[in-house]
Amino acid sequence: MIFRYPNGKAYEPKEQARKKQQPSFTYSNRGMSLEEDLNETNKYYLEHKLAVIHKKPTPVQIVNVDYPRRSAAVIKEAYFKQSSTTDYNGIYRAKYIDFEAKETKNKTSFPLQNFHAHQIEHMQNVVKQGGVCFVILSAFNEFYYVKAEDLFIFWQRQQNGGRKSITIEEINKVGYKIPIGYQARIDYLKIIDKLYF
């Protein structure tokens, strides 16, 4: 099955791209990706009635289906209907939560090419409306919570012809290390509590 972006470029799932580039384990040696860890964390939050935060589905338009028989329809080709915004959204303590999750194996900086202009624009709109918007970065063997407002500064610097990445020193200065937990693996609500409540 082939999924395509609105511009016609073929979609390669993050999991497939990751398998091509690296071994099948993450730095934490738990065999979990950032997305899986966040999904488990959000499931824990929901089950314990702490927050309601979900991964956003990506709308897809199916254009080619093979029907060998009715019970075995196979999608052969599909397109993303629109560019995605951020990965997760929901509500926590009456505050709208919206965030993106990104990973890098780079050892000295976080490349801004991991973000797209439409994602930055979406995050700016969320901030303007008073939502809690941030990025969770998996980098340098740590998880970081970076406020969207801080990300905008680095994005603007790049747009003005400056550095195309965020250095490890800059992330350590503006970011908040997220503690790794057993049940809430990436317990980012602790950071939100500290910053907003």
pLDDT digits (tens, 9 = 90+) for 90-130: 999 999 999 999 999 999 999 999 999 999 999 999 999 99
pLDDT at res. 80: 64
Adjacent-strand bridge partners of 4: 10, 79
Band of residue 25 on the pLDDT scale cut at 50, 70, 90: very low
User: Mean pLDDT of all residues in the chain?
Assistant: 86
Q: What tens digit of pLDDT does each residue of 44-63 get?
A: 999 999 999 999 877 677 78
pTM, two decimals, is: 0.76
DSSP assignments along 68-85, one per residue: SSGGG-EEEEEEESS---
25 or 139, which is more confident: 139
Distance CA 139, CA 121 (A): 23
85 is in an annotated binding site: yes
The single-letter code of the amino acid at 76 is K
- Checking if the pLDDT of 8 tops 80, the result is no
- The token duo for 110 is 């976080």
Q: Kindly provide the residue ranges of all beta strands, DSSP E only, lying in 12-59, ordered along the sequence.
A: 52-55
Are 81 and 8 contacting, i.e. CB atoms less than 8 angstroms apart?
no
- The token duo for 80 is 């993303």
Alpha-carbon distances, residue 67 vs 3, 5, 61, 73, 157 (angstroms)? 18, 24, 17, 5, 51
- Checking if the pLDDT of 19 tops 70, the result is no
CATH code reported for the domain at 32-58+83-196: 3.40.1350.10
100 is in an annotated binding site: yes
Give the range among 5-14, 54-63, 90-99, 136-145 with minimum mean pLDDT: 5-14
Are 84 and 57 contacting, i.e. CB atoms less than 8 angstroms apart?
no
pLDDT at res. 7: 62
pLDDT at res. 72: 79
pLDDT over 90, % of the chain: 65
